[in-house]
Amino acid sequence: MVIGFIGLGNMAKAMISGILKDQLVNPEDIIGSSATQETMDRVSSEYGIRTNVSNKAVASAADILILAVKPLTLPVVLEEIMDAIDENKLIISVAAGKTTKWISQYFSRPVKIVRCMPNTPALVQEGCSALCRNENVTDEDLRTALRIIASFGTAEVVNENLMDVVGGVSGSSPAYVFMFIEAMADAAVKGGMQRKQAYRFAAQTVMGSARLMLESGRHPAELKDMVCSPGGTTIEGLEVLEQNGFRAAVMEAIGACVEKSKKL
Ligand SMILES: NC(=O)c1ccc[n+]([C@@H]2O[C@H](COP(=O)([O-])OP(=O)(O)OC[C@H]3O[C@@H](n4cnc5c(N)ncnc54)[C@H](OP(=O)(O)O)[C@@H]3O)[C@@H](O)[C@H]2O)c1
């Protein structure tokens, strides 16, 4: 099985790392193209994969073709590769907002398309990805796609009409979580802590809280209540967050993200 990548940026590198870690294929069974020779040389020397300047040549060589370019670049790429895709190849697109139907319009025959929405924690194999398929993708194809995507984090199949919501809750949310961590650390710096140490405390607290919820299976409100002693310090901070519309702000931010995704 040959896995092709068109685009060798952050998301492609996260996926390549996961695929090689799980030994799904050997490095020489991965072939990739990107806009610049510099990127191809760098990724090739880092992972030992093959590269080719031609997107069409990569598409021809691949059994599974991963489209890992920005959404705005996708039309150009699809024009280049459309004649190299037959009904046996499986396309996996990670481009935000581009539906399986939109991609399929570039091809004159039925093609298998899986759409995936990963997020940047995939770079440390802690991604949270959703995937959906079009009608030509078989159950076996879907299992193959799931194995590839689960190599760099969790992977769940969703209905395509949920993909914009997935983009909001997991695709874009790392940005909001990093803002939250930064703000926590700024407050610690204000209180006298060294900045580097403050980032470690804030980030570990976010990671630990998430793990506690996932591993205990307990409701987030129950875990929140566990921290809030009667008359204690935490409930004071909680009141300030509520007064400042913390929950509403988070919901509105993710809602805005979902709406924008629908318009892409
Ligand atoms: N980053 C995220 O959080 C995230 C989350 C979910 C989904 N995604 C999706 O993942 C996709 C890739 O994002 P990314 O963050 O990996 O972007 P990126 O780091 O900017 O990588 C884009 C890659 O595309 C290559 N490229 C540009 N034009 C090309 C062309 N005409 N032919 C072949 N390759 C070309 C670039 O080549 P050079 O390096 O040579 O310039 C680069 O390697 C996007 O569609 C995005 O929507 C990203």
Q: Do 149 and 25 share a domain, yes or no?
A: yes
pLDDT tens profile 168-190: 999 999 999 999 999 999 999 99
d(CA 55, CA 242): 51
| 154 and 129 within one domain | yes
Q: Tell me whether residue 196 is in a domain.
A: yes
The CATH number linked to 229 is: 1.10.3730.10
Range of the domain at 57: 3-159
With a 6 Å cutoff on the Cβ, whether 55 touches ligand 1 is: yes
- Considering 106, 136, 159, which residue would you say is the last residue of a domain? 159
- CB of residue 10 inside a 6 A radius of ligand 1: yes
- 197 with 240, same domain? yes
In a domain, residue 166? The reply is no
Query: What atom in ligand 1 is closest to the CA of residue 96?
Result: 47
Q: Which of 131, 159, 187 is the last residue of a domain?
A: 159
Domain count across the chain: 2
How does DSSP assign the chain, residue by residue? --EEEE--SHHHHHHHHHHHHTTSS-GGGEEEE-S-HHHHHHHHHHH--EE-S-HHHHHHH-SEEEE-S-GGGHHHHHHHHGGG--TT-EEEE--TT--HHHHHTT-SS--EEEEEE--GGGGGT-EEEEEEE-TT--HHHHHHHHHHHHTTEEEEE--GGGHHHHIIIIISHHHHHHHHHHHHHHHHHHTT--HHHHHHHHHHHHHHHHHHHHHH---HHHHHHHH--TTSSHHHHHHHHHHTTHHHHHHHHHHHHHHHHHH-
Does 132 sit in the ligand 1 pocket, CB within 6 Å?
no
Is residue 155 domain-shared with residue 180, that is, in the same domain? Answer: no
CATH number at residue 46: 3.40.50.720
Q: Which of 159, 192, 211 is the last residue of a domain?
A: 159
Structure tokens at 150: 């689960």
Q: Which atom of ligand 1 is nearest to the CA of 14?
A: 16
Instruction: Assess whether the C-beta atom of 36 lies below 6 angstroms from ligand 1.
Output: yes
Report residue 157: phi and psi, to 5°: -85, 130
The pair phi, psi for residue 147, each rounded to 5°, is -60, -40
Query: What is the pLDDT at residue 70?
Result: 95
Identify the pLDDT of residue 261.
87
Ligand 1 atom with minimal separation from the 95 CA: 45
* Residues 133 and 181 both lie in one domain: no
Judge if 140 and 83 occupy the same domain.
Answer: yes
Confidence at residue 264, expressed as pLDDT on a 0 to 100 scale: 77
pLDDT (tens digit, 9 = 90+) per residue, 18-57? 999 999 999 999 999 999 999 999 999 999 999 999 999 9
Residues 104 and 16 in one domain: yes
Choose one of 16, 49, 51, 69 to mutate for the ligand 1 pocket test, by most ligand atoms within 8 angstroms of C-beta.
69
Residues in the chain where the model's pLDDT stays below 70: none
Amino acid 190: pLDDT = 98
- Mark whether 100 and 187 lie in a shared domain: no
Probe residue for ligand 1, chosen from 17, 70, 80 as the CB with the greatest number of ligand atoms within 8 Å = 70
